[in-house]
Amino acid sequence: MYPPYVGVHCALCPDSLKSHSSTLISRIVERGSERRRLEGSCTLRRAVRMILLLLGATGSTISNAQSAPPASDRIAINLSEGVPNFVGNAATTDPTAALPQSNWWYENNQDSTTFAASSYAEVAAPASGTGPSCGSTLSAPDWIQVGIPTDANIWRTFINQASGGGQGSLCGQNNWYRLHFKVDPTYANSKIMVEFEGAHTAAQVYINGTLLPGVSAVAADAEASHVVGFIPFIVDLTPYITADGATDNVLAVSVSRGNTWFEDPEFSEVFRFGQAMAGLFRPVKMFITNKVHIPVNVYSNQKTWGTYVATVSEVSSSTSTAQAATAVIQVETNVLNETTTSQTVTLTTQIVDAKGNVVATGSPLTQAVAPMTAGNFPSTATPMFNQQITVANPTLWYPNNSIYGTPYMYTVNHIVSVNGATRAERLASSETLWKWVDAHGIESEGFRAHQDVSRSGF
């Protein structure tokens, strides 16, 4: 029923790189791994990227290399096609369990608040209203079914245009997305959240007709769930979900490049830098987990974080450049208790090498975690659980084709026990864009192009 334990891949980098590292720019990324190989919308795949000394290295989760952990209470679902059938009927075990209950509906011909209502019924547009032009000639909404991401500009404006069309050729001023899904009673006491990796320029998210507010300090953005598509945000659907396996829940999302319900940040819409995206141009994911859980590492809109991992010290080896003698790993973690009573939480952290061997285990940390209130909500940089773990003879990370070593990734596992009941949780990390010159004279330069630049594929 649940996916297996999923950890974080991380690299131990040569100490000599630290003094040569430039300013790092990072963002949180999450992906997933799956227990049962569900296709399509239930591909629970997570590629996790981590920096441990001021250098980023990329790695993907290797499910079959993990030590045998307890089953996880966290289900991660890629909503590219929709919410899979097993969420609406937990007893489903045949191949249809992975298929979507319904696909996303999309419209950018009209803009109306009636589209937010759960009772609104989409009417499919005729083929004549779904061509590569901006909007359509229809006087009615031109709803079509799509997968996510769907960007109005790339899907329509940039088709068959040699140079991208220019600023005046952009579509997607107002975009609406609607998704219907049922939730089985099995998940009635679960936490259900949805993460949007990118919605440009601003988004209003409704669940069953209720607008989910954002956390912006800008007064003009009070009716927006989030503004600026370069930063992911996550919303909590839990209080508004009907989990009876029969009632249709409706997730409705309005994404606009300019509207009365938010203040245009202006800096984020430069066409020539690929910043004029429109709509849900990055993946959307759903998380179903226990009420006592490690938060997803997306600060907006929940104003909290789950975990932070870094190498704090390293003793160099006298015999090898590919390994160090020892390294000390800092692991900081928050655990949310969204029940109504205090819970005794024990956190055990493992460090696993690339072959799946547990090379170090932190001492179990136990504390009583009170029910979440404004007073104890972990929104600051101070973690609830803080530990340092020493790894002996760690393999260091080097770029491909280096004569000193190779890329090598470790995994950080969290095992959480709640009142003596053991289960696994996962944690997230950051990726880093970097430019550096190390002590061995290896030079590497990176670049960043915002979003998917038309016809360039960045």
Q: What is the pLDDT along the chain (458 residues), one digit of tens a residue?
A: 322 233 444 555 444 333 333 222 222 222 233 332 233 333 332 332 232 322 222 232 333 333 455 666 789 999 999 999 999 999 988 889 999 999 999 988 788 999 999 999 999 877 766 555 565 555 677 898 999 998 877 655 554 455 544 555 567 788 999 999 999 999 999 999 999 999 988 999 999 999 999 999 999 999 999 998 888 999 999 999 999 999 999 999 999 988 999 998 876 555 544 556 789 989 999 999 989 999 988 989 999 998 888 888 889 889 988 888 999 999 999 999 999 999 999 999 888 888 888 899 999 999 999 999 878 889 899 999 999 999 999 988 888 888 888 888 888 888 888 988 876 664 433 222 222 334 455 666 665 555 544 433 33
CA distance 22 to 336: 34
For 68, the domain range is 1-29+48-73+294-448
* Residue 191, helix vs strand vs coil: strand
User: pLDDT digits over 48-76, tens only?
Assistant: 223 232 222 223 233 333 345 566 678 99
Sign, CA torsion 354/356/357/359: positive
Quick check: 138 and 107 in contact, CB under 8 A?
no
pTM: 0.78
Is 165 in the same domain as 210?
Answer: yes
CATH number reported for the structural domain that contains residue 224 in this entry: 2.60.120.260
Q: How far is CA 2 from the centre of its chain?
A: 19
Rounded (10°) CA dihedral 377, 382, 387, 391: 120
Peptide bond into 108 cis (omega under 30): no
Q: Does residue 95 lie in a domain region?
A: yes
Is 217 in the same domain as 343?
Answer: no
Is 348 in the same domain as 206?
Answer: no
Is 268 in the same domain as 414?
Answer: no
The predicted structure's pLDDT at residue 415: 85
Q: Of 240, 273, 289, which residue sits at a domain end?
A: 289
Quick check: 349 and 387 in contact, CB under 8 A?
yes
Question: Beta partners for 77?
Answer: 286
The predicted structure's pLDDT at residue 368: 96
What's 65's DSSP letter? G
CA distance 339 to 125: 45
Is 66 in the same domain as 99?
Answer: no
Is 247 in the same domain as 394?
Answer: no
Is 408 in the same domain as 398?
Answer: yes
The predicted structure's pLDDT at residue 154: 64
Is 116 in the same domain as 260?
Answer: yes
Is 9 in the same domain as 117?
Answer: no
CATH number reported for the structural domain that contains residue 9 in this entry: 2.60.40.10
Q: Does residue 190 lie in a domain region?
A: yes
The predicted structure's pLDDT at residue 212: 97
The predicted structure's pLDDT at residue 132: 53
CA distance 297 to 427: 8
Burial of 67 (0-12, 13-18, 19+ CB in 10 A): middle
The predicted structure's pLDDT at residue 138: 59
CA distance 398 to 400: 7
Q: Does residue 139 lie in a domain region?
A: yes
Burial of 95 (0-12, 13-18, 19+ CB in 10 A): exposed
Sign, CA torsion 337/339/342/348: negative
Quick check: 327 and 360 in contact, CB under 8 A?
no
Is 298 in the same domain as 258?
Answer: no
Q: Of 257, 289, 321, which residue sits at a domain end?
A: 289
Is 398 in the same domain as 323?
Answer: yes
Average pLDDT of every residue of the chain: 75
Which segments of 301-444 are extended strands (E)?
A: 307-316, 324-333, 336-337, 343-352, 358-361, 365-369, 385-392, 410-418, 421-425, 429-433, 436-437, 443-444
* Residue 278, helix vs strand vs coil: coil
Total count of domains within the chain: 2
Q: Does residue 53 lie in a domain region?
A: yes
Tokens 């919410």, located at residue = 83
> In whole angstroms, how far apart are CA 197 and each of 143, 147, 219?
23, 15, 24
Residue 294 makes CB contacts below 8 A (sequence gap 6+) with 306, 307, 333, 334, 335, 336, 414, 416, 425, 426, 427
Phi, psi of 284 (to 5 degrees): -120, 135
Quick check: 156 and 177 in contact, CB under 8 A?
no
Q: Of 256, 289, 322, which residue sits at a domain end?
A: 289
Q: Residue 92: which H helix or E strand, with range?
A: none
* Tally of CB atoms within 10 A around 139: 8
Q: Does residue 39 lie in a domain region?
A: no
Is 179 in the same domain as 253?
Answer: yes
Phi, psi of 168 (to 5 degrees): -75, -5
The predicted structure's pLDDT at residue 229: 85
